[in-house]
Chain A
């Protein structure tokens, strides 16, 4: 078991290294000369040279990479030339918690509503309930999040004035204020995801409920809720965990649009702004952060399989 986990962690480390090479190369592959862009109007041959030396761009590539990685691990991510603040502060301390909070809220909401809805439509297969859930999940996954976001703003923010339409309040500073501000963005971000969870839950549960051991449990006279939620759902957890892990990347890219529509100062907006301003060092930091996030979530999902399914425990 331990050896298996260790192998998984080593695999992850290898993927991390590949991601780091990719984000490092961003600065090299980018069109134009980033140093020239950083200097802007202060451009001169001397300032160009001195910034090259300062950034270490005059040294051989492998050396630059090792140096960059070492500084990255230590939290020295350089200084943004637009905001003139340390990138670590901006990206990791300010922007990341916003995106994580938003994604966690969206994920929570998707599971909280998606799973029961999926269960409902599996248990009441081929009824009106099932058709309604299918309609919801199709509509939900077809709605682009920028459109849904603006629609929600107009309905719940403007017409009814129920929820704030913008801005981020940290739930750890003001819990209810934070939740209140998160309602619309979380719904926007979670809807396509929720729809997917409904479909996965339904498909898997329908299959499980036809298994002989379910019939046996029924024959034993076990209560319906126990059959569905204990015997049935236990077997749905695995595909569900896999989907959550795989879809995290989609959730993060949905966050870009959601953050723009709701004016949330998160990682998505940070990266899009940085791309537009040609702030390659910020883009690098953003790619590394989101890359690590996706990889670590997948590792967590991998490591959870043996816990969720005894058949997968390595002997």
Chain B
């Protein structure tokens, strides 16, 4: 009755980002964005961004790559979007005009009038219903379908009103709709998808500020201004080119030479050099992520919980950050990251919770293991992300100290993914990133039988706790549930948790009006020269 669930929800999510600040220089961009009237005749123009991230598809419901989603955000809109005022994050209506909670399980969205897709199709309640159902229970199955597990039905009330009925209160919904790892609330046009079928990912049609022009293999993805975009005065740019570059050092060179206006990301070894350059702005701070060494609980030797525990305490994170991360990043004790204020424990280092380096403890657990004497294990690794194979390489000698003879098996990425998905490994190093809520950082990764639970770990107490946390809206109660769940997870150690890291975006100082959000996005809506 009197409980304003939406308010609680919005406050709780916003509170977590309260004390976040931008890194050097980013303040200037925010200040510029706050002064739209100063905009001069110099608006418009063609932005060129060096894209070193992998882009698999431009179909928002079928990607798991942040490099793709950073582009999607410029082509599509969702029911809600993430907004960041430099202090806190909020979730505000995007394609919706208003978002109301009728009761704790029923969300009502009133849509904007007259919004059209780039191909002219009307974006109305039917389109929303169709898009939500495509993710929820479409074929082929979307990798983000789990985000609608608690959905009961989607109702079209009138052409501009749509209602989502859930089986249980669903604290995670705003993030499910907006979260940058595959936005389940992204609205796509039915006609274009039926026309292109599987090729839609190469011929995207959305409602966003930019229209798709071309995708030339190994060369570039080009978008142009959507003159009918519903936010008045936006976008400011005429054109955006994403130059697909494999070699990061070439991208850094192009950035320093002023041949491109920005970079989607940067390997850690270049960050200090880029920061030192006066004509560039490096955006980046610790975001919602963690790196880990997964251990396969279905196979010897890591089916033995004491071997896993020993690994958890045997890794010297400080040395690892220095050697594998160029000193960029902080030690992780549990999956919940610092940006998740309200859930993240600032005193976690002193609390004794989670995993950390303690060789004595590691040896004690190792002594309890079923197999004594040398254990052989293979770390499956791939040249990937910002740290290549350095994490795996650095960890090998650390494992040696607890009598685990680890060998590296370096495979190319496609093989790594397929073996990871098939559970065909002993250990592998990876990261989970761009999470805005504890639920997405824990639930799909570690709940029994979930798609991303590559370690094959299962614990019914943990499952119950994280299920419960999904349907509680009160932050304190939720936090207590997550603390308990994390304690079980870290104790049983289906992974050794390693670090939390910043995500970087580099822009030239010429680029004005970029709004940083701590969700690893690169939205060009308000950007101009």
Contacts and interface: CB of A to CB of B under 8 A. Distances in A.
Interface string A263-283: 101000110010111100000
Contacts of A277: 414
Contacts of A37: 414, 418
Interface residues of A, number: 32
B42 interface: no
A166 interface: yes
B253 A153 contact: yes
B218 interface: yes
Contact of B245 (A85, A150, A157, A263): A263
A13 interface: no
Interface of A: 37, 41-42, 83-85, 90, 94-95, 150, 153-154, 157-158, 161, 164-168, 260-263, 265, 269-270, 273, 275-278
Contact of B256 (A83, A158, A270, A273): A158
Interface of B: 50, 140-141, 143, 198-199, 201-202, 215-219, 243-247, 249-251, 253-254, 256-259, 412-414, 418
Contact of A157 (B244, B247, B257): B257
B257 A261 contact: no
B385 to A, nearest CB: 15
B524 to A, nearest CB: 20
A161 B246 contact: no
B253 A157 contact: yes
B412 A276 contact: yes
Going nearest first, the 3 A-B pairs with the smallest beta carbon separation are: A265-B219, A265-B218, A153-B253
Given A84-B199, A85-B217, A94-B216, A157 B259 contact: yes
24 contacts: A37-B414, A41-B143, A42-B140, A83-B202, A84-B201, A84-B202, A94-B216, A153-B249, A157-B254, A158-B257, A161-B258, A164-B259, A165-B253, A165-B257, A165-B259, A167-B219, A167-B243, A263-B219, A263-B246, A270-B217, A270-B218, A275-B412, A277-B414, A278-B414
B414 A261 contact: no
Contacts of A262: 250
A84 to B, nearest CB: 5
A90 B219 CA distance: 11
A161 B332 CA distance: 42
A90 B143 CA distance: 29
A165 B258 contact: no
B202 A85 contact: yes
A261 B216 contact: no
Q: Which of A168, A269, A270, A275 has the most B CB atoms < 10 Å from its CB?
A: A269
Contacts of B259: 157, 164-166
A270 B217 CA distance: 8
A276 B412 CA distance: 6
Given A37-B418, A157-B254, A263-B246, 11 more contacts: A83-B217, A85-B202, A90-B217, A150-B250, A153-B249, A157-B257, A165-B257, A263-B244, A265-B217, A265-B218, A278-B414
A270 B216 CA distance: 12
A102 B198 CA distance: 34
A167 B519 CA distance: 30
B219 A168 contact: yes
B247 A261 contact: yes
Nearest to B200: A84
Contacts of B413: 276
B253 A263 contact: no
A265 B216 contact: yes
Contact of B246 (A95, A158, A165, A269): A269
Nearest to B202: A84
Nearest to B241: A167
A166 B250 contact: yes
Contacts of B202: 83-85
A261 to B, nearest CB: 5
B274 to A, nearest CB: 12
Nearest to B258: A161
A261 B198 contact: no
Given A90-B217, A94-B217, A263-B245, A165 B250 contact: yes
A150 B202 CA distance: 32
Contacts of B218: 95, 265, 269-270, 273
